[in-house]
Amino acid sequence: MDGTLTQAHIPFDIMRSRTAIPVGDLFTVMESCWTGPTSEQQIKDAMTVILEMEATAALEVSGKEGLLELLQLIKDLKVPLALVTRNTTHSVDAFFRLVGEEWRAVFSQVLTREFKYVKPDRRLLQHVAQEWGMEPSRLLMIGDSFEDVECGNSAGTASCLIAGGGNEKPGSGVTAPAGAIPTFAVQSLPELARRLREAGATGSSPAHSGAHHSDGGGPSSSSSAAGTGTAAGTAAAAATAEGHGLSMGWMAKLAAGQPLPAAGAPPPGLQFYDWLLAAGALSVAECSFPRMGRAAGGLATCQTPARTHQAPARRALLAGSRVAHLGCGPAALSKLLASQGMQVVGVDSDVSAARKRGLSAEPFRGAPFSLGSLQGLSHHNPFDTVLIYGKEMPDDQQLAWWSPDSLRETRSVLPATGGWLAAQVPLPSGVNPATVLQSLRDSGWALKDSWVGNVAEFGGEAQSEQLYLRVAAWSIQQ
C-alpha cells in the first residue's frame, strides 16, 4: 500500500542495510539467492527486521493526496475493486483504521502476503480475475514498483504506474526492465481519478484495476483491482478509451489485431514459457515463495504440506522446478519463472542484470556452451531443467548449443536419472531443423515435443521471417 494508496513511511535504505540486501526485490533475493546451510536462519532474521519496521510504519500510516476522492469515484462507478498487497493483515487493518472501516466493503477482495500467491506472481491477478468471472485483460493493475507492473503485464492485465514510489523514485536513475514497462503512468492519484472520470464519461467499457505497491522491491505492497462495468474503472480501474490513456491488457489487444508496444508488454518468452508448462518441462510451485514460507513466520504463503505418499522427487517439485537458464540476458524470463516458485539460476557472459533483479546468477566459464562453461553451477546441482531462450543469441551460439560437446555439458548439470532440455532458439540460415533434432537424439536426448515456425514477440516487434526451433527433450543416458 505504501507508495500507491498511502505515503511510504518505511525507510527502505535502512531496511536494505539491516537485511543485507543492497539491490533487487527483497523477497526474490531471499527466495532465490539465499540457498546455503544457514539460509533459513538468514530468512528468519531478515523477516524479523521487516516485520519490526512494518509494524512501526503502520503506526504512522497516512493517505496519499486524493485517496478518499479516488475511492469515492470508484464506489460511485460501481466497479469491482481488489486490494492485493505484500503487507501483513495487521498493516491492512491499520490502513482501514485510517480511511474508515466503511471503506473495507468497497474492496471485494483483499489479499495480503498470507495468501498463497504474492506479487509479482501472475497467478495472483489471474485468481482475482477468476473470482470476478472475467478475463485478466479486463483488469488494470495499479502500483508504484516494478513488481506491481510485472505482475500485471505477465497476467495479461493493463498496468498503471504511480510515479514517485517504490523503486521508481524521481532521480533514482532506474530504468524499467523488459516486462516491467507499464501500459501508462500517472504522477498522482488525482491524475488517475481524472483519467477514470473522463473514460467513464465516454461510456467506454471499463477494465478491472489492481493497484499494487512494492516499495522499491520491498515487502509491503498493496493493490486494488476493479472489475468491468458499464462506466469505468476504479482506483485502479482502466477503461478502453485509448484517448484518455486507459487501455486494456495485451491479450485483448492481441485478439483485436492491435499492435503490441513495449508499454504493457509481458516479459519476452512468455509464449515459450506457457508452451513448456503444457509440455511438462517446467513445474510451478503451489505458492509464490515456498522456501520463505517454510522459513519465515512473517510470510505464510506456502503452508500446504508435501503429500507424503509421493516419491521424494515429486515432493520436491511442489516447490517448483530447479532451472538453469542459459543465456538469461536481462533476466525478464528468469524473473517470471522465479515469481512462480521455481528455483532459477541465470547463466550468461554478463549476469549483472540478473543480479540487479535479485536473482541468483553465475557467469559462463570460458566460451558459452563449451565444455566446462557450466562449472560455476557445480554447487547448485542438480537441476530439473536447463532452459535456453535465444531471442538475442549471437550467431556462433545458435550453432554451438546443439553441438555434441555443448549437449554433454548441458547434461552435466542434470541428475543421472534424467532431466529436461528446453530451448527456443533462432535457426541459422541454411540449417535444417531436422539436423538439430538428430544431434539431440544422437547425444542421448528423447524428444518430447518440438515446433518450428515464426515467432511474433511482444514489444512492438512484428512477426519476422526468422525461423525458431522450440524443443523439449529428456536426457535418457549419461
Query: Cα separation of 152 and 157, whole Å?
Result: 5
Q: Give phi and psi for 388, each to the nearest 5.
A: -125, 115
* CB contact set of 432 (below 8 Å; sequence gap of 6+): none
Region 69-77 average pLDDT: 92
Is pLDDT above 80 for 138? yes
Average of per-residue pLDDT values in the chain: 83
Is pLDDT above 70 for 167? no
- The burial class, CB within 10 Å (0-12 / 13-18 / 19+), for 349 is middle
Residue with cell 542484470: 353
What would the pLDDT profile of 116-130 be if each residue is shown by its tens digit? 999 999 999 999 999
Is pLDDT above 60 for 236? no
Question: What pTM was estimated for this model as a whole?
Answer: 0.88
Query: Cα separation of 288 and 292, whole Å?
Result: 9
Q: Judge whether 159 and 140 are in contact, CB under 8 Å.
A: yes
Is pLDDT above 70 for 299? no
* CB contact set of 26 (below 8 Å; sequence gap of 6+): 15, 16, 19, 46, 50, 217, 218, 219, 358
pLDDT-based confidence at 220, cuts 50/70/90?
low
Residue with cell 539460509: 39
pLDDT at 255: 78
Q: Judge whether 204 and 239 are in contact, CB under 8 Å.
A: yes
Q: Computed from CA positions of residues 222, 227, 231, 237, in that sequence, does the dihedral angle turn out positive or negative?
A: positive
Is pLDDT above 90 for 284? yes
**Can you point out the beta strands (E) in 374-476?**
385-389, 420-426, 445-454, 467-475
DSSP readout, 246-298? Answer: ----HHHHHHTT---BSTTPPPTTHHHHHHHHHHTS----SSS-HHHHHH-TT
Is pLDDT above 90 for 254? no
Lowest mean pLDDT among 20-29, 165-174, 256-265, 267-276: 165-174
Query: Cα separation of 114 and 152, whole Å?
Result: 20
Is pLDDT above 80 for 216? no
What would the pLDDT profile of 437-455 be if each residue is shown by its tens digit? 999 999 999 999 999 988 7
95-118 burial, b if ≥16 CB within 10 A, otherwise e?
beebbeeebeebbebbbbbebbbb
Of residues 465 and 59, more confidently modeled? 59
Residue closest to 451 by CA, chosen among 269, 272, 251, 268: 272
Is pLDDT above 80 for 149? yes
pLDDT at 219: 60
Region 25-54 average pLDDT: 90
Residue closest to 5 by CA, chosen among 80, 92, 77, 89: 92
Of residues 453 and 218, more confidently modeled? 453
Cell numbers given for 369: 556452451
Strand partners, 161: 143, 185
Lowest mean pLDDT among 201-215, 332-346, 395-409: 201-215
Cell numbers given for 216: 522499491
Q: Computed from CA positions of residues 237, 240, 241, 246, in that sequence, does the dihedral angle turn out positive or negative?
A: positive
pLDDT-based confidence at 247, cuts 50/70/90?
low
